[in-house]
Structure 1
Amino acid sequence: MATSPSTAFSGSDVSAEFGALKTRLDSIERTQERLSAEFEALKTQFTQLETDRGPGFEEYLGFYPRCAWLTFFSSQQRLPARLHNSRATIMKATLKTPVAANGKPAPGFPTSRGEFEHITKERYEALLKAYGQPLKGDTEAKREALRAFAGIPQDGQ
């Protein structure tokens, strides 16, 4: 929708736009709070089910053990960071830190693609460990494992 320059910055239009944006932001924040509460309730339920279960419990209910569900939810929380990182094709591009299994960002994650390409073997190992990933191979193999996990494209992609 195009607006003419004379009406684009009128006080009433800006106020109305700001109000609409604030309403949308409030709605998004409420949804995030609700989803977070639902996720915490699910974790509590699965912890209780894990404690109360008997032989063949997963097969009876037809779903995976608690750890599989928590892994699924953790991977869903990582999607926004991985999507953002997938567009990091130049060295100055910023990176977002995927959350670790505890739901918090892993400490020491690089802030840019250039930094990612030049961190030490020990730092790659620490990050892979924080994400529960295998620590196999040389520095290049660890870089590629972390690259795949964090959604960072290879050179030329």
Structure 2
Amino acid sequence: KSPMMFDSYFPPALDRAGDERLVFDKQGFVDTGFKALVVGDAEKEIELLHNPSDTFQHGGVPVAADELDNLYSSCEALSDAAALPVEDPVMGNRILAAIVPNPGVSISFEEFREYLVARKVAPYKIPDRLVQVKSIPRGRRGEVLRDKVLDQT
């Protein structure tokens, strides 16, 4: 909500009803998908916590990449992991899991899939491919720098 609020994007993005205008709630707010935290003593600053661009489609289902990062990193054999969308004409995106195994540990794609299946992870969250990298590059707030991950192979 802002005195400088606009009523549409260019090019227009359609809402669920096919309307090109933004959908305002009763208080005049628009849900952009961004999640932020008000910070600072004067409460005039915000810290971006989640960007909807970190969400991608996998088989028609929206998937939050940071959720997959946390899920994949929970594997005891790994010191870090990240999910990367790879464009696919059928699925929208395929999921590539970039992993950093713990020192002296190796894990195969099949072992990683079995780990996720044993934890009853939804099938659409299970990666289609696995790649081992030296590290997962992160920004100053700890967010994965997805465009730089594959530079670490």
Using the size of structure 1 for normalisation, the TM-score is 0.26
Higher relative contact order (CA 8 A, sep 6+): 1
Please tell me whether Structure 1 or Structure 2 has the larger radius of gyration of its CA atoms: 1
More helix as a share of residues: 1
More strand as a share of residues: 2
